Chain A
Amino acid sequence: MPLNQQTIQNLSWLARLKLPAEREGKILNDLQSILDWVEQLKEVDIEGVEPLVSVTDGIAPMRKDVVTEGDQQADLMANAPESVQGFYVVPKVVE
């Protein structure tokens, strides 16, 4: 799968990263060499093989979805770069 500048720019946008133009070439080469290397997985016969998502299926029970440690707004907001009255502050998103 050959990558190009456009692919890198699209991926950067999806990942909300803004690569400086001078770094795009290097990243493109790196990703291209990694993708060429993973091509070898195409030789494996995976017919009828289910994807392995978790190795703890069936032994790790879910608990009830209930609040156990509520009322910690001040603690949770303490790391916000900017907050007002318990809300995160971001640039205006609605004109």
Chain B
Amino acid sequence: MTNLTDLTIGEAAQKLANKEISSVELTKAHLAEMENARVLNAFITETPERALADAEKSDARRSKGEVLGVLDGIPIANKDLYCTKGIRTTAASKILSKFIPPYESTVSQKLIDAGTVMLGKVNTDQFAMGGSTMTSFFGTTKNPWNLDLVPGGSSGGSAAAVAAGLCMAATGSDTGGSIRQPASFCGITGIKPTYGRCSRYGIVAFASSLDQAGPMARSVKDCALMLNAMAGYDEKDSTVANVPVPDFTKALTGDIRGKKIGIPKEYRLDGLNPDVQAAWDKGIQLLKDAGAEIVEVSLPHTKYALPVYYIVACAEASSNLSRYDGVRYTTRVEGKSLDELYENSRTDGFGDEVVRRILLGTFVLSAGFYDAYYTRAQRVRRLIYNDFMEAFKSVDALLVPAAPTPALSEAEMKAMKPIDVYAGDVFTTPASLAGVPSLSLPVGLSGNGLPIGLQVVGKHFDENTVFQVADVLEKAAAFNQKPHHVKGK
């Protein structure tokens, strides 16, 4: 019999529709796999009872002919940044380690409305600040390809869980690469949609002008199915665009003949990891073979994206995180005065990386430095945005690496200085700053057997072209390797 934790959503939906399997069977298979794979530390909170209740409801709907759609009965996990009503939501932090939201985030509610089964809450870097899950208060998630390596981050719990077959898809969030880089490290697919495509309501805020929700799954089509359910206008978030959401699966035509794919010359870094360069060259060749026209383009301000990103993101984070004050969110460390209570609660509740970013953000927003740092960064951000607009006058999409290296080990990352860690976001932050959609998918393995992802970057609200190109690349690359751990134990 087919291993139920190996299926794509498309395959599982077909089996559910044919009554070959029930959602309860599918859910139990994933719950068993979660138990087998506890060594990965992918979940912060497992919700097996909720999952089985969801699955039973789904099966009951199906027996009455009231199926909600293709995702009905599909087991998924939520990044622990999404507020889930009545279920602990920690942002992988100590300060929110006991927080039980009285409401549901819009995106996770949409997935409930689509009939999905919620298996639990997966690990992330603390407040989504990091690229490894090493900043999580709940410990680092391990990469199922090699347990000595990190899964990437911040959505590293999502990526590891999807790669290891603990869930069929997971929600992620991406501020500067937090969906795309872990997808690359774990050999799965994830899309950061256009900023404004999905509601941010109920997702613990890191940097509000950049944060965007998105799906992570084991195929381009599964990401399209998930995004169909997750996207759309929401009165509760003033930054969601009121634009129609197409059926993204309709974009998967398998034909990209005549499409113009841009290769930005500024992404050709000196000394780029040869495995990453080889994967990129392979992707370019595969698209060319599929009939796309490859065009060199220029995004002249690319090298400034990282410093701009860290100024803007930290500034917004320092403001967003001021709400955690020891008064409203469950954890408090007493003090003699109100200020001392704030100081004690925050100092105890935030990890080192969060403190570093709050202080940097406080500095760039403080009197005397605001214009020199924060406003300057916002002005350079516009130039980066303009670069993309200019490039998209002549091409339909861009193809670039997702990360400068395959997955790194925890020891390697610990030995790095903060700015060297930040450099891991070099290929992902530009699209974040411009707000354009970008999908990361695996195209091959490095010399030592680790997955490498590429990004397909598109125009604002043109996820259709992103999916269309990524789907063709996925089929041509035929990446079908599975992680050593968990799968085929």
Residues of A within 8 A of B (CB): 1, 7-8, 11-12, 14-19, 27, 30-31, 33-35, 37-38, 40-42, 44, 46, 49-56, 59-63, 68, 72, 75-76, 78-82, 88, 90-91, 93
Contacts and interface: CB of A to CB of B under 8 A. Distances in A.
Nearest to B333: A81
8 contacts: A15-B346, A35-B360, A35-B363, A44-B301, A59-B241, A68-B235, A75-B103, A80-B330
Contacts of A59: 196, 241-243
Given A16-B339, A55-B385, A90-B327, A78 B209 contact: no
A17 B341 contact: no
Contacts of A55: 195-196, 209, 385, 434-435, 460
A53 B362 contact: no
Interface residues of B, number: 72
B63 interface: no
Closest 9 CB pairs of A and B: A55-B435, A51-B378, A75-B102, A81-B332, A52-B382, A56-B196, A38-B307, A16-B342, A18-B343
Contacts of B240: 56, 60
A38 B311 CA distance: 8
B329 interface: yes
Contact of B102 (A27, A35, A76, A93): A76
Given A11-B363, A15-B359, A16-B343, 9 more contacts: A15-B322, A17-B350, A34-B310, A35-B363, A44-B304, A52-B433, A55-B209, A81-B330, A90-B338
Contacts of B373: 38
B379 to A, nearest CB: 4
A56 B327 contact: no
B338 A93 contact: yes
A33 B417 contact: yes
Interface string B325-338: 11111111011111
Interface in B185-233: 195-196, 209
Nearest to A64: B235
A3 B259 CA distance: 51
A45 B91 CA distance: 38
Nearest to A56: B196
A22 B326 CA distance: 24
Prevailing SS type, chain A contact patch: loop
Given A59-B242, A91-B338, A79 B329 contact: yes
B193 to A, nearest CB: 12
Prevailing SS type, chain B contact patch: helix
Contact of B356 (A27, A51, A63, A90): A27
B425 to A, nearest CB: 13
Given A31-B360, A31-B363, A78 B242 contact: no
B382 A49 contact: yes
B310 A14 contact: no
Contact of B383 (A34, A37, A46): A46
Contact of B242 (A14, A40, A50, A61): A61
B356 A11 contact: no
Nearest to A89: B327
B11 to A, nearest CB: 36
A17 B355 contact: yes
Contacts of B318: 15
Given A41-B308, A44-B301, A30 B356 contact: yes
A62 B466 CA distance: 29
Contacts of A88: 327-328
A54 B209 contact: yes
B376 interface: yes
Contacts of A15: 318, 322, 346, 358-359, 362
Contacts of B238: 60, 62-63
B366 A14 contact: yes
Contacts of A41: 304, 307-308, 311, 376-377, 380
Interface in B84-107: 99-100, 102-103
Contacts of B196: 55-56, 59-60
B347 interface: yes
B260 interface: no
B418 interface: yes
B418 A33 contact: yes
B369 to A, nearest CB: 8
A56 B435 contact: yes
A63 B369 CA distance: 34
Nearest to A77: B328
Name the residue among A27, A44, A46, A54 with the largest chain B CB count within 10 angstroms: A44
B310 A38 contact: yes
A81 B356 contact: no
B109 interface: no
Contact of B346 (A1, A11, A16, A37): A16
A17 B103 CA distance: 29
Given A63-B235, A91-B341, A93-B338, A81 B241 contact: no
Contacts of A8: 359
Contacts of A44: 301, 304, 380, 383
B304 A40 contact: yes
